[in-house]
Amino acid sequence: METFCDTSHCEMEHIFYGSNKTENFFKEEPSAGGKIIVFKSDLDKTEFAKSVIPTVEKEYFEVFRPLFEFIKSKCRTSSSIVTSPVKDEQVLKKKNKSAFAS
């Protein structure tokens, strides 16, 4: 099997390559047989994550859907799992009452 080995350049940020909102963070570099797209600077990753990613079109996040569906499928579901802040508060009140009742 042929691979790019040490010449592979695939970072998490590449998922968002192609959006006009991320174009200033990528550049093309020559490579054997063509060019590669690289993230310009590791120093910009925090700014990219905090300022740019929240503005990127939602279709760029669809790639994560199978991952989250898999995680969701592994989580147990039960009425004992708290699903909302209101229910959190109700559960805590019940626990506190029962703790003081004994």
DSSP character at residue 63? G
Task: Give the residue with greater pLDDT, 51 vs 10.
Answer: 51
Q: Is residue 95 part of a domain?
A: no
Q: Is residue 86 part of a domain?
A: no
Q: What are φ and ψ of residue 81, in 5° steps?
A: -80, 130
* Domain coverage including residue 43: 1-74
Helix (H) or strand (E) holding 39: strand 34-39
Mean pLDDT, residues 1-12 taken together: 76
**Domain count for the chain:** 1
Q: What are φ and ψ of residue 28, in 5° steps?
A: -95, 140
Q: What is residue 102's predicted lDDT score, i.e. its pLDDT? A: 46
Mean pLDDT, residues 3-16 taken together: 82
State pTM to two decimals: 0.62
**CA nearest neighbour of 40 among 60, 17, 20:** 17
Distance CA 12, CA 14 (A): 5
Q: Is residue 43 part of a domain?
A: yes
Q: What is residue 83's predicted lDDT score, i.e. its pLDDT? A: 56
